[in-house]
Amino acid sequence: VRIANMALRWCKRTLGVNKRKKYQPIWSVRRAYGDDICGEYDHDDNEVLIYWDNIDDVDELLRTCIHEWTHQTQPIRTKYFKYPGSYSRNPYERQARYAEKKWLPVLWEYINNRINKTKCKSKQQSI
């Protein structure tokens, strides 16, 4: 949960927010309700939802955060559902998958530096 919150704060700063919304996006990191999805974006509430118990590792967690945050920046309500066909061929899904590939190494470095910095501080305090 801590890593997800760090990743989502990074996404907000780096990827930005959808300026067409009347209020700032929010996020929740919670247990899933039974589906096997790792996350989703609720365009009605402008909320990014991350389901931690459906995520196998940190890599998948970071990719999910980037993917769902990318949806937050897209015109989901007005344009996403205008593309018939498969999920994988939707241009907004393609854009979100591209964002995962583009930003994952940068986010990994940020998270790694933050976690290692915290570990170093706690080791120094215990000495």
Q: For residue range 44-102, what is the model confidence (pLDDT) as tens digits?
A: 999 999 999 999 999 999 999 999 999 999 988 888 877 777 777 889 999 999 999 99
Query: What pLDDT is stored for residue 67 in this prediction?
Result: 97
**Across 27-53, average pLDDT:** 92
Alpha carbon distance, N-terminus to C-terminus of the chain: 28
3-state secondary structure the chain: CHHHHHHHHHHHHHHCCCCCCCCCCEEEEECCCCCCCCEEEECCCCEEEEEHHHCCCHHHHHHHHHHHHHHHHCCHHHHHHHCCCCHHHCHHHHHHHHHHHHHHHHHHHHHHHHHHHHHHHHHHHHC
Q: Give the pLDDT confidence of 112-121 residue by residue, as tens digits.
A: 998 887 655 5
Q: Quick check: 123 pLDDT over 60?
A: no
Choose among 109, 32, 105, 99: nearest CA to 72: 99
Query: What pLDDT is stored for residue 88 in this prediction?
Result: 79
Length of the chain: 127
Q: Quick check: 125 pLDDT over 70?
A: no
Q: Quick check: 122 pLDDT over 60?
A: no
Query: What pLDDT is stored for residue 7 in this prediction?
Result: 96
